[in-house]
Amino acid sequence: MKIRQTKDFELVAKLNKPVHDLHFTLYPKHFNKYNYEEIKEVFKKLIENENFIFLLLEVNQEAVGYAWLEIKNYPENAFKKSYHSIYIHQISIVQTQREKGYGTALMNYIYHMAKEKGIDLIELDYWVDNNIAKEFYKKQDFVKYREFVYKQL
């Protein structure tokens, strides 16, 4: 198993399909159907942003997962103190490679990277019906500290 940074937006767009399909299945009112060409163009632009980091997880030289991270710098203001975090936008492991510890390996890599950058906070969010994510992050000892709610009118 190997984890490395990547700028291969085409590969990331392909690896995005399982997580995007899950989001579409759970919330079709909010998500479009997966469209490789459109998603590829989005990742092409995102990958050039220096605040975004894309990690590729390979097993036997085959890409089986990725993580999309963002280095966030929150400046101090009248309400809050300044802080830095690594925000996890997405983690996705291909269906046939799940339950093998690859998600945990990606998380451990992210924790190590954060420490190297002097960052002591990892943030993320997930859709409330995404029980796979909920259970995974619970096993990773993430703690809920804020809730996002809505009211449909």
The answer to whether residue 44 sits within a structural domain is yes
Q: Which domain holds residue 6?
A: 2-139
Task: Supply 109's token pair.
Answer: 């890599």
The answer to whether residue 145 sits within a structural domain is no
The answer to whether residue 110 sits within a structural domain is yes
The answer to whether residue 152 sits within a structural domain is no
Q: pLDDT (tens digit, 9 = 90+) per residue, 91-139? A: 999 999 999 999 999 999 999 999 999 999 999 999 889 998 999 999 9
pLDDT for 147 equals 84
The answer to whether residue 12 sits within a structural domain is yes
Residue 150: which pLDDT band, with cuts at 50, 70 and 90?
Answer: confident
Report how far Cα 57 is from the mean position of its chain's Cα atoms.
13
The tally of domains found in the chain comes to 1
CA 20/CA 88 separation, integer angstroms: 15
Q: pLDDT (tens digit, 9 = 90+) per residue, 14-57? A: 999 999 999 999 999 999 999 999 999 999 999 999 999 999 99
Look up the pTM and report it.
Answer: 0.92
Question: What is the secondary structure of 57-126 as a DSSP string?
Answer: EEETTEEEEEEEEEEEEE---SSS--EEEEEEEEEEE-GGGTTSSHHHHHHHHHHHHHHHTT---EEE--
Give the CATH number of the domain where residue 127 resides: 3.40.630.30
